A and B are shown apart, each in its own frame.
Chain A
Amino acid sequence: GQQVMQIPQYQHVQEGEDFTTYCNSSTTLSNIQWYKQRPGGHPVFLIQLVKSGEVKKQKRLTFQFGEAKKNSSLHITATQTTDVGTYFCALPVGSNYKLTFGKGTLLTVNP
């Protein structure tokens, strides 16, 4: 079956440092979504990528979809304490497009 791997599992950075999380699939994807969950909160949709090689930016966040549509990354430039949380990728699996979440990357930021 389709494998979803998200790395790293944890990342601790100093405020101002950059951060990247990666999501890899064993099969070609039709799309990929990214969510953020703050501690004690619920996941919140960040963005969706659909096209091969697509790059989207939201302020300090940059999202990329691989050329082969099998991997994606989320990069945060100059992290702030407000970036703390768990970042999940989510991708459709199977003929009914079941949305499957990666294990997530927990980001902590030291002020």
Chain B
Amino acid sequence: KAGVTQTPRYLIKTRGQQVTLSCSPISGHRSVSWYQQTPGQGLQFLFEYFSETQRNKGNFPGRFSGRQFSNSRSEMNVSTLELGDSALYLCASSLGLAGRSYEQYFGPGTRLTVT
């Protein structure tokens, strides 16, 4: 069974631009979660989608948004990029809502650098 895939793997953007990251979950998984990982803040939860509906949201500004498609694939968008958005963005999929005792499988992440 193929794992979670994320594209692109690396991205360099300049301040003020926007970016879209993509995540393809494991086949059959209906929940997709997104995390931002930085050395100082650890793993910060962004949002979780299940059956195309956002079920949970972290404490990030409205510049961060996401969506999930009917095939469970998910995208996240960051508009008006700031230097502080430089991070590793991880996507994870699970059969059901992760907090309801479903283990998550993480993708390799997208390394975003904002200059």
Contact = CB atoms under 8 A, between A and B. Distances in A.
A43 B45 contact: no
A98 B48 contact: yes
Contacts of A50: 101
B97 A96 contact: yes
B33 interface: yes
Contacts of B42: 88, 101-104
Given A42-B90, A43-B90, A43-B106, A99 B45 contact: yes
Contacts of A20: none
Contacts of A104: 42-43
Chain B interface category by residue count: 20 to 34
Interface residues of A, number: 25
A38 B100 CA distance: 25
Contacts of B43: 43, 88, 101, 104
Given A35-B104, A43-B92, A98-B48, 14 more contacts: A31-B101, A43-B43, A43-B90, A43-B106, A48-B101, A92-B100, A96-B55, A96-B99, A97-B97, A98-B56, A101-B42, A102-B42, A104-B42, A104-B43
Interface of A: 30-31, 33, 35, 42-45, 48, 50, 88, 90-94, 96-104
